[in-house]
Amino acid sequence: MLARQFRWGLVGLGRIADTEIAPGIAALEDHELTVVVSRDQGRADSFAASHGARRATTSYDDMLAADDVDAVYIATPNALHAEQVVAAAAAGKHVLCDKPLATSVPDAEKAIAACRSAGVRLGIMFQTRRFEGVPEAAAAVRDGVVGRIVMAHVEMSAGRNLPRGWRTDPALAGLGTVNNIGVHAFDLLRYLLDAEVAEVAAMVDREEGFSVDTAAAVLLRFDSGVLAYVNANQAVPYPQNDFVLYGTDGRVLGRNLSRPGHEGALVVTTASGQTESPATTSSGYRETLAAFAEAVQSGNDPSPSGIDGLRSVQLTGAIATAIESGAVVRLPSS
């Protein structure tokens, strides 16, 4: 339970805001959605009425000036994130930003510096970390339950659900499926392996008529030596949304645990046998909202943090270079 009511402002009233963020705030004890912002006043009014927000406005500046907003959730197009984080920090508001933090490394660094200078907390919505079974998988790796991890694989797909709207515009989205879905897989691997990516290679597909990627196959080598493969796509109708960690003494399988809204299981296989624990991915957004507020009130950095957001942007920048050049790209050491 929080020490007091935690009051949210929300900018960007698209699908995730409507289906996950606003309902997630409403479901949490001692949380309140106070102000929502859209470019269209009618849309803002309708959203506020649907989700019980106190006020609706078209002015982000007005929301930032409000005394009854402790933190801002940013759910706007990708290219707007960094600028809006900087503005929120200048207004003294804590920020939980939808992924990616920015579409370039310099912009991500500016966002982090602004929050650090203002003394506000910055978190990123990598909700996959809080799916059931994922922290237990990370603990199994940390405790050496399956020996030394050698290989890892993540598949992530929302089914055949090609990018739409601003997500098809490289100027607003940056990359396509890589930024829509793939970044969650990369952060999941960083979290599970407690390691950073050292080098990356990538190939993508762009369906006819699209100027952004619609499917991506990415190879990664972590600084721990682990090799990993990510299949992130919006192109296939029946994906298998699993993650697998192969160790020298066993295997950790998150069956149907890499995408939100699913029922799955964590399966650990060793020479001693196999254990299987049911798990759901339905509460990741809500749990991340709650954890962010608790971090703010305790004065701690949230997990995922702004630094996690920067690492993600550094990686997607390297992936973009790898796509364009066809080369293996090394990342700077963290």
Place of tokens 């859209």: 38
Architecture of domain 128-284+315-330: 2-Layer Sandwich (3.30)
Pairing of strands 71-74, 149-157: unpaired
- Is there a contact between 73 and 8 (Cβ–Cβ < 8 Å)? yes
Q: pLDDT above 90 covers what percent of the chain?
A: 98
Max Cα distance, the chain (Å): 61
Pairing of strands 197-205, 215-222: antiparallel
> What are the pLDDT digits (tens) for 242-295?
999 999 999 999 999 999 999 999 999 999 999 999 999 999 999 999 999 999
305-329: average pLDDT: 98
- Considering only 3-17, 39-53, 251-265, 267-281, which range has the smallest mean pLDDT? 3-17
194-215: average pLDDT: 97
The strand pairing partners of 254, in sequence order, are 243, 266
Angstrom distance (rounded) from CA 193 to CA 224: 8
Angstrom distance (rounded) from CA 286 to CA 22: 9
Angstrom distance (rounded) from CA 201 to CA 321: 9
Report the mean per-residue pLDDT for the chain. Answer: 97
Res. 3: pLDDT tops 70: no
> What are the pLDDT digits (tens) for 144-182?
999 999 999 999 999 999 999 999 999 999 999 999 999
> What are the pLDDT digits (tens) for 85-131?
999 999 999 999 999 999 999 999 999 999 999 999 999 999 999 99
Q: Of 3.10.450.230, 3.90.550.10, 3.40.50.720, 3.20.20.210, which CATH number belongs to 6-126?
A: 3.40.50.720
Model confidence band, residue 80 (pLDDT cutoffs 50, 70, 90): very high
Angstrom distance (rounded) from CA 206 to CA 177: 10
Spell out the residues 6+ positions from residue 36 whose beta carbon is closer than 8 angstroms to its own.
Answer: 9, 10, 11, 13, 22, 44, 47, 48, 51, 53, 55, 56, 57
Angstrom distance (rounded) from CA 27 to CA 249: 41
Phi/psi of residue 35, each to 5°? Answer: -135, 135
**Domain range annotation of the chain:** 6-126, 128-284+315-330
Res. 46: pLDDT tops 70: yes
Angstrom distance (rounded) from CA 148 to CA 199: 20
Model confidence band, residue 333 (pLDDT cutoffs 50, 70, 90): confident
Angstrom distance (rounded) from CA 176 to CA 161: 12
